[in-house]
Amino acid sequence: MKHLAFLLLTTSAIAQDLVAARKQVEEQIATMPVAAHFDQPYAGTANPKQMLDLYLPKEPKSDKPLPVVVFIHGGSWKAGDRISFATYPVRFVRTGDYAGISVGYRLSDEAKWPAQIHDCKAAIRWIRGHAKEFNLDAEHIGVWGTSAGGHLVSLLGTSGGIKELEGDLGEFNQLSSRVTCVVNQCGPQDFTMPLMHRNGQPVMEDVAVAALLGGKLAEKRDTVLAASPVTYVTPDDPPFLTLHGTKDERVDFAHAQRIDAALTKAGVPSLLIAITDGGHGFHNPQMFDRVTKFFDRHLRSMNVEISAEPLPDVKPKR
């Protein structure tokens, strides 16, 4: 993926000027067999955070509706943007087998919980509402998110039909916000657990989570439970693939184990791939192969095996 090296998940990519980032993406897309439809409003507002970017193959391999890979960015719910993570959906669109979408959502300095999941669910409904227009397969929508995005995609997977989390944004409220499968990359899963440890001690009052939920966690027990993906696990949840570094100092590896155990207990297909010695930002080329197989299996009905063997953290070559 050398053509997309500029979009690797790094702090500098998140922080860079959005106008420059947009121009950079447009220049790269122009060299690929990919068509971009930027700034699609999904919530019925002109808020740039409540928009998504749609990527389509210029020459799809089939005339059939395209399954959709949706990416939701991280950034502690207070930073990040959809354009800086274009590489994630675009890597699938380039194959001609998928449509791809990168979703923006309101951050915690603008709106408190549950605004973020309301936005994400409205984006999923937008896909279904525009499926015919863009030849999208409304019955095969996979979601992938990192960190805070991992939290949000996990909630999309576990909270289907939970009225309080659906919201009423956009023009397609009659449509479902359920998804077909979930790739959760280092996402928080249970806010009753410490998100991280400092000097060997659990940190129960995480600043980013408090900003998201609008106050101290100890004083918001109901909200803490309501914002935790593990709260809603039921047997009808979609398959999950979880990627998480075993030495993650931002979101403890125990969160990955927690959601995997809950899903498995409920009879939901769940794969946990530990990234050995990986931190919150990890890399191993094989993980993308496994994510691809996961989407191929659940979005394209391909009979492929997906290994759950741990992978080492491998720093990318410069």
Report how far residue 68's alpha carbon sits from residue 59's, in angstroms, rounded to the nearest whole number.
16
Residue 317 placed within a domain = no
Residue 93 placed within a domain = yes
Q: What is the CATH number of the domain that holds 233?
A: 3.40.50.1820
Is 259 within 8 Å of 242 (Cβ atoms)? yes
Give the count of domains, the chain.
1
Residue 318 placed within a domain = no
Is 255 within 8 Å of 188 (Cβ atoms)? yes
Residue 214 placed within a domain = yes
Burial annotation 73-89 (CB, 10 A radius, 16+ → b, else e): bbbbbebbbbbbbbbbb
Residue 73 placed within a domain = yes
Q: What is the pLDDT of residue 14?
A: 40
Residue 177 placed within a domain = yes
Q: What is the pLDDT of residue 315?
A: 74
Average pLDDT, the chain: 93
Tell which residue, 293, 11, 307, has the closest CA to residue 147.
11
Report how far residue 77's alpha carbon sits from residue 126's, in angstroms, rounded to the nearest whole number.
22
Residue 301 placed within a domain = yes
- Here the tokens at position 91 are 């890597």
Q: Domain of residue 191: give its range.
A: 2-312
Q: What tens-digit pLDDT sequence spans the chain (318 residues)?
A: 333 433 333 334 444 467 888 899 999 999 999 999 999 999 999 999 999 999 999 999 999 999 999 999 999 999 999 999 999 999 999 999 999 999 999 999 999 999 999 999 999 999 999 999 999 999 999 999 999 999 999 999 999 999 999 999 999 999 999 999 999 999 999 999 999 988 888 988 999 999 999 999 999 999 999 999 999 999 999 999 999 999 999 999 999 999 999 999 999 999 999 999 999 999 999 999 999 999 999 999 999 999 999 999 997 655
